[in-house]
């Protein structure tokens, strides 16, 4: 299972919900038919479509705004095998454990976690070293490495 996003509100009065996706592109969801909440309850997806900067989704059996409102705030999960990924796409969970390395060969240690703050991703390496995603230059699956552009002050900022 992989965390795919969160229900952030209702949309209209017929049970549709606003969905904040943790994926870059809604086309990744083409084969997803079932999703699960944090306690494993299954929902059959009627549709999921982009709308402005969020998605609008509909579950079978949720027909009223009151029913949809009960799902507000729930994070949703889906089976990894249901996703359609392009050649250069990957799941963030697949790179946890890769080693971080600066362009000059500096070692950052193992990637422990990736945090999402709004639309920003922050990579957390061993020793609580935090690296914003814009400094990630390459992910090398063959060598299990994440190449980082370590700008002046980046490592020092993590020591304070």
pLDDT tens-place string over residues 20-77: 887 767 777 778 899 999 888 999 999 998 888 888 999 999 999 999 999 999 999 9
Q: Is residue 37 part of a domain?
A: yes
Q: Are residues 126 and 76 in the same domain?
A: no
pLDDT in tens, 117-126: 767 889 999 9
Q: Is residue 136 part of a domain?
A: yes
Q: Which domain holds residue 70?
A: 2-82
Domains in the chain: how many in total?
2
Q: Which residues contact 24 (CB under 8 A, 6 or more apart)?
A: 89
Give the Cα separation of 111 and 69 in Å (integer).
Answer: 36
Q: What six digits make up the tokens of 70?
A: 């009960």
Q: Are residues 104 and 132 in the same domain?
A: yes
- Residue 120: CATH number of its domain: 2.30.30.240
> Among the three residues 54, 82, 110, which one is the final residue of a domain in this structure?
82
For residue 13, the tally of other CB atoms under 10 A from its CB is 11
Exposure b/e, 89-105, CB count within 10 A at least 16 = b: eeebeebeebbbbbeee
> Among the three residues 82, 106, 123, which one is the final residue of a domain in this structure?
82
- Residue 29: CATH number of its domain: 2.40.30.60
> Among the three residues 82, 105, 134, which one is the final residue of a domain in this structure?
82
**Contact, 94 vs 111, CB < 8 A?**
no
Query: Which of 88-97, 136-145, 149-158 is predicted most confidently?
Result: 136-145
pLDDT on residue 158: 63
Q: What is the CA radius of gyration of the chain?
A: 18
Q: Are residues 74 and 140 in the same domain?
A: no
For residue 159, the tally of other CB atoms under 10 A from its CB is 8
């Amino acid at each position: 299972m992989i965390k795919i996003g969160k229900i952030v509100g209702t949309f209209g009065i017929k049970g549709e919900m606003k969905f904040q996706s943790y994926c870059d592109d809604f086309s990744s969801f083409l084969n997803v038919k079932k999703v699960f909440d944090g306690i494993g309850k299954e929902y059959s997806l009627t549709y999921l479509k982009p709308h402005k900067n969020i998605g609008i989704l509909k579950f079978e059996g949720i027909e009223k705004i009151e029913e949809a409102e009960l799902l507000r705030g729930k994070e949703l999960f889906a089976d990894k095998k249901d996703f359609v990924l392009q050649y250069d796409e990957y799941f963030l969970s697949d790179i946890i454990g890769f080693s971080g390395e600066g362009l000059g060969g500096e070692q950052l240690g193992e990637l422990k976690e990736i945090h999402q703050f709004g639309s920003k991703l922050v990579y957390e390496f061993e020793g609580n070293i935090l690296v914003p995603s814009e400094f990630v230059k390459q992910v090398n699956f063959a060598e299990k490495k994440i190449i980082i552009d370590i700008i002046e002050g980046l490592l020092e900022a993590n020591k304070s």
